[in-house]
Each structure stands twice: as C-alpha cells, then as structure tokens.
C-alpha cells in the first residue's frame, strides 16, 4: 500500500522519525527486540510484581525528597502509580509532586507536562531534579515557580513512561491522567478536592492535549477546569508525509521518536530489524540519550542513511500507529475549556491541523481561546504564550466563565 503526500505541511524533526518508522515496518524477516533504555538504578521506579492487580491511578510507592535547586522553597515527593500503556497493558509510571509553602488544602493543582525529548531514564524529571552534572536542565522551572508562587500545587509526570517511549502521544495523556488520580489519593498532599488544570508546550503540549481529550472517557471523575496547551503537533502522519529522506540538523530527535515508538509498539513497529550498520551505530549512541546528546549524534543524518529499505512510506501498520497518536483524527472532544497558542508561521508543526482540531472542538461546544503569538518560530512562542496561559488558568480556578474565540 503506497501513500502520497496529501498537502504541504511544515518540517519537524519528529516528523522525520515517522518517515523512518514507516520505512522500517514488517518485512518478513526475523524480528529483533527493541532497544530498551538502561533501567533506572533506583529501585523506587521498578514496578511491583502485582502491578496488574491495581487499578489505574493506584499509588504503588511514595517518598519525600530533599530540597532541590529548581524549587528551593517547596516540598517535593515522588510517586509511583499504576497506569496503562498504548496497548492496554498495566505498567507503572511516576510523577513528581511539588507543594509550595503557601498551598492550602484543596487549593488548585496543575499537572504540567514538560518538554522531554529523550530516550534515557536519566532524563526523567524525577532524576533531573537531583542531577549533579547539570548537562540537562528543567527548562520550564522558572515558569513553574510562578505557578507555585500563586499557591498552586504542581504535578510533573514523566509522561514518556517506563520505556521512555518518546513519540507515543496517547500514552502521555493516559499517564498524565493517572498521575493526577494518584496524587489526589494521598491525603497528606491536600489536593483530594482540588480543581485541576493541565498545561504543556510542544511535546508536553501533546501529552496535555491528549489528556484533555481522553479525560471524559478515561478519567471522567477528575475535576479538570481547563487545559493550556501550546505548539501541539496534532497530526503526526501529516508531518511524516512531507519530510521523506532529507538530512536535517535535528534528525537525532527524529530517530529517537522512531525508537521510542518501537519500544511502545514492539508487535507493530520494527525499527531495529531494518537498520544498516550506520543505523545500528547511531542507535547504540542514542538509546540512553537526553536531548543534547540526541541532537549531537543525529546532526544532519536522515532516515535514508539508517536503513537499506528503499520502500519509504509503504508500511500500512506504521501509518495506523501514527494515526492512533494524532489528535486531529481522534474523535473524542474535551469537556473542559481549552487555551491554545502557537505561532501562525510555525514551520515545526502542521498549523492547519491545529486549526482543524480547534474547529471541531468549537463545533462540539467546547470553549476554546486560540491565540496566535507575535513570533515566527516554535520555541519563542512557548515563552510568549505562557503568561497569558497562566492568567487564563487562574480565571478557571476562580470559577469565572470561560471565554471563547470560536
């Protein structure tokens, strides 16, 4: 089955990965196991043997952590909880809960889905908070401290899951929702009856948007009052269709997404099998990498260099996986209000897919505020939209009627 480009969309590193995924689908050869990350040496993050006996959101482990440099005045806990992977299987995931000193019982709770473009367990928020080499940093920390200063508790789920499945967007939504369930079930946290807000940008925005769309059916009991989601890649297949085999300076993130999807869908996506010597070399350097490492090793590579399979874009199962992780194609609609922002000239994501998704939400009656930032690029739009998103969220917590630009 052959696919053709249906329309022109912007270039993105992640989209390059999806071209690679499509190129290395089932081929009738023996199937090699996916390259999984080196396990976190901390036994706290290991799932108990009876994880399947627990319900989604059940707390498996909890521990308080020492003060860290990112949130120096707040108390911090790590929570391991039961959730569900993309194929419906029980897994354990973790979230970091941050409680400011001015938080009162049942004051607001924000689940913030950070930008994490990584394959290694060392890159998790839970680990990066206490990393000593500072080779990676929690870039959103200054903005999150604004939320903490308002007295809001903050949950930071590691939404790539225990396999560090970068690229698995729907998984991120499920982990986000179960992480909220988990922290609400711990009485000492004081958020059992808190209103909940969701927030995130780019890859974190994708997990946020999926959580908002899944909530009515996956976690209808949660009192989510609003979702602030920026720069969201709404259609992964569209991005792949445009990019093809061209080299790209950010191809490291592309290859990482291909490997992450193979980790999450080992019965449907077969990347490792089809790598040539260059691809296997790159995989070994990247399999535990964080963002900067992935960018370095993948610089100016391309999908065509990593496999000898010439039938790019011809694997139907690969396209199904991409469609299943594309919010534009998911028919569920958030019930809570949405604040959405992006650059109108963003070349990293298909802006027309954002417009189509917002239009569908509006038609279903969901209040949506859509903001175009005065910025020509993806990264600066994140910073420009965040203050307005915080004020919008404060109004939702205050119970004010949600505005709409529909």
Structure confidence by residue, pLDDT tens digits, 250-268: 788 878 888 999 999 998 9
Q: What pLDDT is stored for residue 243 in this prediction?
A: 56
Mean pLDDT of 376-390: 87
Contact residues for 261 (Cβ-Cβ < 8 A; gap 6+) = 17, 21, 165, 167, 168, 269, 271, 321
* Domain housing 311: 1-406
Residue 307, strand partner residues: 275
Contact 182, 83 (CB under 8 A): no
Q: Which helix (H) or strand (E) holds 319?
A: helix 316-324
d(CA 139, CA 148): 16
For 35, other C-beta atoms within 10 Å of its C-beta total 18
User: Would you say residue 166 has pLDDT above 70?
Assistant: yes
pLDDT band of residue 247 (cuts 50, 70, 90) is confident
**263: CB partners within 8 A, 6+ apart:** 34, 35, 36, 163, 164, 165, 168
- Residue 29, pLDDT > 60, answer no
Residue 114, CB-side half-sphere exposure with 13 Å CA sphere: 25
Answer with the residue of higher pLDDT: 318 or 96.
Answer: 96
Supply 123's token pair. Answer: 């890159």
In sequence order, the 6+-apart residues with CB closer than 8 A to the CB of 245 are 19, 302, 303, 304, 312
pTM of the model as a whole: 0.90
H helix intervals, 107-250: 125-128, 141-149, 169-184, 203-218, 236-243
Query: Is residue 343 within 8 Å of residue 372, measured between CB atoms?
Result: yes
pLDDT tens across 227-242, in order? 999 999 899 888 766 5
CA distance 369 to 196: 18
If one counts the domains in the chain, the total is 1
In the chain, what percentage of residues exceed pLDDT 70?
88
pLDDT beyond 70 at 285: yes
Contact between residue 319 and residue 307 where contact means Cβ atoms under 8 Å apart: no
Residue range 58-108, pLDDT digits in tens: 999 999 999 888 999 999 999 999 999 999 999 999 999 999 999 999 999
Output the average pLDDT for the chain: 87
| Cβ count within 10 A of residue 2 | 8
Q: Is a pLDDT exceeding 60 seen at residue 5?
A: no
CATH of the domain at 162: 3.40.50.1820
User: Would the pLDDT of 3 be above 80?
Assistant: no
């Amino acid at each position: 089955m052959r696919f053709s480009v249906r329309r022109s969309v912007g270039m993105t590193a992640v989209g390059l990965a999806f071209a690679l995924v499509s190129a290395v689908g089932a081929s009738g050869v023996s199937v090699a196991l996916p390259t999984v990350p080196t396990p976190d040496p901390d036994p706290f993050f290991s799932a108990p043997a009876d994880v399947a006996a627990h319900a989604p959101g059940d707390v498996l482990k909890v521990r308080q952590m020492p003060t860290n440099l990112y949130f120096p005045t707040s108390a911090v806990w790590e929570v391991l909880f039961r959730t569900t992977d993309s194929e419906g299987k029980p897994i354990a995931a973790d979230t970091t809960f941050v409680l400011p000193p001015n938080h009162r019982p049942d004051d607001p709770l924000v689940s913030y889905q950070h930008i994490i473009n990584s394959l290694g367990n060392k890159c998790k928020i839970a680990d990066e908070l206490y990393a000593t080499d500072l080779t990676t940093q929690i870039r959103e920390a200054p903005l999150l401290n604004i939320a903490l200063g308002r007295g809001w508790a903050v949950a930071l789920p590691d939404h790539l899951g225990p396999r560090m499945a970068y690229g698995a967007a729907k998984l991120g939504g499920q982990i986000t929702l179960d992480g909220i369930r988990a922290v609400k079930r711990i009485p000492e946290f004081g958020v059992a009856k808190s209103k909940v807000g969701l927030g995130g940008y780019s890859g974190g925005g994708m997990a946020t948007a999926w959580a908002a769309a899944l909530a009515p059916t996956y976690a209808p009991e949660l009192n989510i009052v609003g979702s602030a989601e920026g720069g969201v890649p709404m259609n992964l297949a569209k991005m792949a269709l445009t990019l093809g085999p061209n080299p790209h300076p950010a191809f490291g993130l592309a290859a990482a997404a291909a490997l992450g999807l193979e980790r999450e869908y080992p019965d449907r996506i077969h990347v490792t099998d089809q790598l040539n010597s260059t691809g296997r070399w790159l995989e070994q350097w990247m399999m535990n990498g964080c963002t900067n490492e992935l960018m370095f090793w993948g610089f100016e590579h391309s999908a065509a260099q990593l496999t000898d399979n010439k039938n790019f874009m011809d694997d139907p199962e690969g396209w199904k996986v991409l469609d299943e992780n594309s919010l534009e194609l998911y028919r569920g609609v958030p019930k809570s209000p949405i604040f959405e922002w992006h650059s109108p000239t963003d070349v990293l994501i298909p802006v027309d897919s954002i417009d189509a998704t917002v239009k569908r939400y509006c038609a279903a009656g969901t209040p949506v505020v859509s903001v175009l930032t005065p910025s020509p690029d993806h990264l600066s739009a994140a910073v420009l939209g965040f203050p307005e998103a915080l004020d919008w969220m404060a109004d939702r917590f205050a119970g004010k009627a949600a505005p709409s630009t529909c």
